[in-house]
Each structure stands twice: as C-alpha cells, then as structure tokens.
Amino acid sequence: MSSTHTKSATIEQHIDIEGHVGIDEHIGRDLEYSAAYRWQHWIRAFSIVALIATGFYIAVPVITPAATNEPTNFLYALFRTWHIIIGFVFISAILLKSYLFIFAKKHVNERAALKDMINPIVWAKQIGFYLLINKHPKLKGVYNPMQFMAYLLFYLMAFSLIITGLILYVHVYHEGLGAFLYEPMRSVEVMLGGLAFVRELHHMLMWGVILFILIHIYIAVYNAIFIREGTIDAIISGVKWHKRV
C-alpha cells in the first residue's frame, strides 16, 4: 500500500462545534465496548424498565379486570409471571457482565479502572471536571473513579435484588428450580429477618436502581457534551473518538 493510502486511512471526519464537517488527522477512533458488552447493556436496560413497571403493578395493582364468575381474569398472575421471566433475563445479563469484567481479555480496560479508583489525584481532578474547574483527567481505564464507584454500588444492589427476588420466587413456585433453591433461600430469608422485610428490602433496592438510572443518564449526557468523544454513541456502535497523541 502506498504512503498516500496509509495516511488517508488515519484521517477521520471531524465535525466542529458549529456543525461544519472537516478533516482532522488528529482524531482517531477506538473500540471501547465489545459486542457482548453492548448486548448485555441493552438487555439489562430493557429488563430493568420492564421489571420496574411490572414490579409497581405487583406492589399496587392499579388495574383490575371486570368481575366475572369465570376463572379467567388472572391479570395479577400475568404481571407476576412476566416479572419472573424478565427477572431471569436480568439475572443472566448481570452474570454475563460479571464474567466479562472478571475474565474477558477484551475488558481489561474496565479492570484497569481500579487503578484510577484508588488514586486520590484522579479523584480530585475528576471532581474538578464535574465542577467545571479543570479538564477531564487522563484515565488508565474506561471508567473514571466516580463512575466505577457508582457501578460497584449498582451491582451490589443488583445482586441484592436477585437474592431477595429469588426468596420471593421460591414462595410461589415449589417445583423445579423453586424446589432446588427453597432451602438456601429460606436460610437467607431467616438471616434477613423474615419474608416481610425481604419484600420491603426488594422495594427499597428498586428505588435505589431508579436513582442510579437517573444519575447514569445525566452523567452520560454531561460527558457527551463536555468531553465530546461519542460517549452515548459508543454504547451502540462500540466506538469512541479520541485525540491522537
């Protein structure tokens, strides 16, 4: 390949702040998120929305079918069934993401964020960036320390939701997986103080996830505006834009 072709391959289209399209050889693109990461992110996102919607109905059944003598209007049971089905989809996505974070070679940039999380200088610069005091710090990983702590809290809530959800599940389904999980889940239920508290904890954790979602969306939009690296686009395409060194 000629030198002309080699050079042109490194040049990317650049859109400036006024919307004009130009050519900038100092802007490059890198694969930030693998296909597996992006799939599990959106599966997890849609399952969370569906679980919140069905969970609200299970807690407060605001819609009731018309009374009839025929045993056919099982709307509450339908909502609970979908809640359980989607719950297992959510469990699968959480387990997949946990596996990718711990073992996958393509996700080493996520594990590298641990170094930034324990670095007080990066913490100070990151807080300064959100306060519009200084530029975004140079990171070793894909997450800044505040993001990493937020994700850590989210996964603690997610696994707690899974455990409390399975405790509630074994009280409804007594065969198959329900029978297999019954004894260990009953032991955890006793340690937590009983079924009433488990249900209350499940609800409180849901509100924690809702709060996380609001903050997550706000920070994603904030970073997309001020960092301008295609932060939101990356979770769809997997690609982020970076200045070449």
Phi, psi dihedrals of residue 239, rounded to the nearest 5°: -110, 135
- Report pLDDT for 223: 80
**DSSP states of 4-37:** HHHHHHT-EEEE-TTS-EEEETTEEEEE-S-HHH
The ranges of the chain with pLDDT < 50 are 1-23
Q: How far apart are CA 14 and CA 65, in angstroms?
A: 56
* Nearest CA among 159, 137, 146, 148 for reference residue 109: 148
- Report pLDDT for 225: 83
- Report pLDDT for 236: 82
Which helix (H) or strand (E) segment holds residue 168: the answer is: helix 145-170
- Report pLDDT for 91: 96
* Domains of the chain as residue ranges with CATH: 36-235 (1.20.950.20)
Tokens for 140? 């070793």
C-beta of residue 240 within 8 angstroms of C-beta of residue 231: yes
Angle separating helix axes 145-170 and 120-130, nearest 10 degrees: 90
- Report pLDDT for 15: 43
* Nearest CA among 33, 44, 35, 37 for reference residue 100: 37
DSSP state of 224: H
- Report pLDDT for 164: 97
Q: How far apart are CA 143 and CA 109, in angstroms?
A: 8
C-beta of residue 202 within 8 angstroms of C-beta of residue 164: yes
Phi, psi dihedrals of residue 136, rounded to the nearest 5°: -65, 135
